[in-house]
Amino acid sequence: MAYYSDKLMDHFLHPRNFGEMKDPDGVGEVGNVVCGDVMKLFIKVKDNVITKASFMTFGCAAAIATSSILTEMVVGKTIDEALKISNQKVAKEIGGLPPQKIHCSVLAEQALKAAIEDYKKRKK
Amino acid sequence: MKKDKKIIYLDNAATTPLDPRVLKAMIPYLKENFGNASSIHFLGQKAKEALERSRETIANFIGAKKEEIIFTSGGTESNNLAIKGVAFANEKFGKHLITSVIEHHAVLEPCHWLEKRGFKVSYLKVDKNGLVNLDDLEKTITDETILISIMHANNEIGTIEPIIEIGNLVKRVREKRRERKIETPIYFHTDAVQTFGHLPINVNELGVDLLSASAHKLYGPKGVGLLYLRQGVKIEPLLHGGAHERNFRSGTENVAGIVGFAQAVEIAKKEMNREYKKQIELRDKLIKGIFEKIKNVTLNGHPRLRLPNNVNISIEGIEGEAMVLTLNEYRIAASTGSACSSKSLKPSHVLMAIGLSEELAHSSLRLTLSRFTKNKEINYFLKVLPQVVEKLRKISPFYKK
């Protein structure tokens, strides 16, 4: 693919950690079908640390790949560390994104924040 | 992906491979016969002969006079020349144009541009199969209408429009204007880029005054197209210069390209009817196979009034670009109307116009066959598609088994 990095293609063709999680501690769903990208992120949290993450995504190769890499980036991080993950970090981690696909990394960041928000709500 | 393995090319609506016979015909004009057709020495004259021979071949193919063929750089230029050309040559009579919502951008963008310059454009809606309605068209025509532009068949969903009926309607309008002594001319243009060389075209039977075509859609080279311009129709040229093409399109002629175009037409003349039947067979086999093997899939476009080589489907729950890139790994080339794969990040305006939800527009896959498509390639595709769909549906939040 001319404008996708090898790492992105790898995550797209061989996505990690996909599928619905049983008993998640937080779920974040962002995006909408009008734009053509919907990301759902599931997280499991123990002692304030994200121990597991999985995703389900309707979207293009960049959307699927950024979801996949996100699940790898968050595992082992504390909630506060995870909240610091920016879309730029996601884009960098996946090997860069063409300008018209940056919004996929933004969606990934938003999915993570939404999942953490949901986790905090559930805890109360 | 192994680069040496053959690819299964199912994106012929985007472009077609050069027929080897076309390449053979072009080579002399890329090598020793490189003359400028306007030069008066022997090398120039050789080019001029080839140019005029090609023009005659192509004119005969569509029942036109050779003076009515203007060579351009392709379909986009032809559409621009037709629309802007008619608009500027006839604006003193009227400034209203009519087209449809499913036209190619090369028709819609000139129309938008003209609107900014004081022209009025009506965009006819289409039904859920992509067909224009003749009553709607008739009601939309006013005494200020100078041009109607409706495509012969749509490049995305394959729907074939009622061009003969529209041609007859335009003739009736012209007759009525004559009776009422209204001087405003009314012209009918069709973008035939997807049908030229694939469906029979006779400009008098169709009743068109202008027609656009492009060589690379019928196994000819890229960079050459034509505008058929009926004698008596006035247009302003886009390109001014050396007065080539009877002053309608200045610029040194792309002789090699035009020779290639004519050769592609010669081949189409002989093989079109046979290919039409063969492609419909393969197309319908492909559609049937898809519906048998995949659940929750819909066909976009008219089921019968459809280009012989076009299949356009929406596969629920998964996105088009992801499908195309996964098929790519299996050496299968296809395309999609999804926003993610477009430059504008908006879903296909054609799919939206036939009433598809944004989700189904993003889930579309277009497969277009060619004269080189083999039965075993269709079989292979039908084996691969279910695997691709299953893989992507597993990660989709929308698809529940």
For the segment B238-265, what is each residue's pLDDT rounded down to a tens digit?
A: 999 999 999 999 999 999 999 999 999 9
Measure CB to CB from residue B362 to each of A1, A18, A33 and give the nearest one.
A33
Q: What is the pLDDT of residue A36?
A: 87
Q: What is the pLDDT of residue A124?
A: 82
- Residue B146's pLDDT band (boundaries 50, 70, 90)? very high
**In this model, does residue B140 exceed pLDDT 70?**
yes
A65/A37 Cα distance (integer angstroms)? 12
A59/A101 Cα distance (integer angstroms)? 11
- pLDDT, tens digit, 9 for 90 and up, residues A36-74: 899 999 999 999 999 999 999 999 999 999 999 999 999
Rounded mean pLDDT of B295-319? 97
Q: What is the pLDDT of residue B341?
A: 67
B118 touches chain A (CB under 8 A): no
A58 touches chain B (CB under 8 A): yes
Which residue stretches of B330-374 are H helix? 349-353, 358-362
User: B10: which strand partners?
Assistant: none
Rounded mean pLDDT of A8-25? 96
Mean pLDDT, chain B, rounded, equals 96
Question: Which chain B residues are closer than 8 Å to A99 by Cβ?
Answer: none
Calculate ∠ Cα B147-B148-B153, nearest 5°.
145
Rounded mean pLDDT of B303-326? 97
Q: What is the DSSP string of B27-89?
A: HHHHTT----TT--SHHHHHHHHHHHHHHHHHHHHTT--GGGEEEESSHHHHHHHHHHHHHHH
Please give the ipTM for the structure prediction: 0.94
**CB B343 to CB A100 under 8 A?**
yes
The answer to whether A43 and A119 are in contact (CB under 8 A) is yes
Distance in Å, alpha carbon of B1 to nearest chain A alpha carbon: 10
Q: What percent of chain B has pLDDT over 70?
A: 98
- Residue B393's pLDDT band (boundaries 50, 70, 90)? very high
Rounded mean pLDDT of B96-113? 98
A29 touches chain B (CB under 8 A): yes
Q: What is the pLDDT of residue A34?
A: 79
- Residue B225's pLDDT band (boundaries 50, 70, 90)? very high
Among A96-100, B106-110, B226-230, B242-246, which is the least confidently predicted range? Answer: A96-100
Task: Note the pTM of the prediction, 2 decimals.
Answer: 0.95
The answer to whether B94 and B146 are in contact (CB under 8 A) is yes
Would you state the structure tokens that stand for residue A11, as one six-digit string? 């995550």
Measure CB to CB from residue A33 to each of B322, B325, B358 and give the nearest one.
B358
**CB A56 to CB B395 under 8 A?**
yes
Q: What is the pLDDT of residue B3?
A: 53
**CB B340 to CB A60 under 8 A?**
yes
- pLDDT, tens digit, 9 for 90 and up, residues A77-111: 999 999 999 999 999 999 999 998 999 999 999 99
